[in-house]
Amino acid sequence: MKNPKKKYFSDDQERLAGYAKAMSHPVRVFILDFLVSNMDKCCYSGDMAEELPIARSTLSEHLRVLKNAGLIQGEINPPFIKYCINRENWEEAKALFMAFFKR
């Protein structure tokens, strides 16, 4: 019987897997690329909706996944929602991926 308290994965492995899961859809990769390309300013979800051939509700779901993973952050100013890269977590994700691929 496995010990339920035993930890099998390191904190870095769990964080890397979380970032990878959040980035596992082409729309989310597009969103991150869009926001990184505009890193000096935040973007409204409507700006991204004009660039993508998906429903706004679908875009909102992808934004939610990225926000829950900590890769982006949002600010609500009704009726607009403004998003930008969470710079601290973005740098952590880059470092984790780079370390992983150097192995």
Report the C-alpha gap between 25 and 19 in whole angstroms: 12
Percent of the chain with pLDDT over 90: 70
Confidence of residue 4 (pLDDT cuts 50, 70, 90): low
CB atoms within 10 A of CB 29: 14
pTM, full prediction: 0.88
Domain boundaries defined on the chain: 11-101
Report the pLDDT value the prediction gives residue 3, as an integer from 0 to 100: 63
Average pLDDT over residues 5-9: 85
Report the pLDDT value the prediction gives residue 46, as an integer from 0 to 100: 87
Q: If you write DSSP's letter for every residue of 20-69 in order, what string do you get? A: HHHT-SHHHHHHHHHHHHTTTS-EEHHHHHHHSSS-HHHHHHHHHHHHHT
**Angle made by CA atoms 9, 14, 19, in degrees to the nearest 5:** 155
CATH number for the segment(s) 11-101: 1.10.10.10
Burial annotation 44-65 (CB, 10 A radius, 16+ → b, else e):
ebeebeeeeeeeeeebeebbeb
**What is the dihedral angle through the alpha carbons of 63, 27, 36, 21, rounded to the nearest 10 degrees?**
70
Average pLDDT over residues 48-74: 94
